[in-house]
Amino acid sequence: MKFLALAAAAAFLSACYAYPDIEPGYAPADADAPLGSARYMSVFAGSANYVPVKPRPWAEINERVAPKPEVQ
């Protein structure tokens, strides 16, 4: 019973909460709002050129990336 009263009081008090005034900045329809600088950037900037290559022997590639044996 106490839990039900507590839940009802919490629901009632949360409905009375006033949201703070939020300043959104400039209105979208404001003609005097400052604009950000527009700069050109190519859509291909930072892309890599992937050209097909001939496959190499897998044993050579495995030897190149395998951990080196420790010499003592």
Q: Is 28 left (phi over 0), alpha (psi -120 to 50) or beta?
A: alpha
Take residue 44 and report the two structure tokens written for it. 């291909």
Q: Is 68 left (phi over 0), alpha (psi -120 to 50) or beta?
A: beta
pTM of the model: 0.25
Take residue 2 and report the two structure tokens written for it. 């106490």
Task: Give tens-digit pLDDT for 15-63.
Answer: 776 776 777 777 778 888 787 788 888 888 888 888 888 888 888 888 8
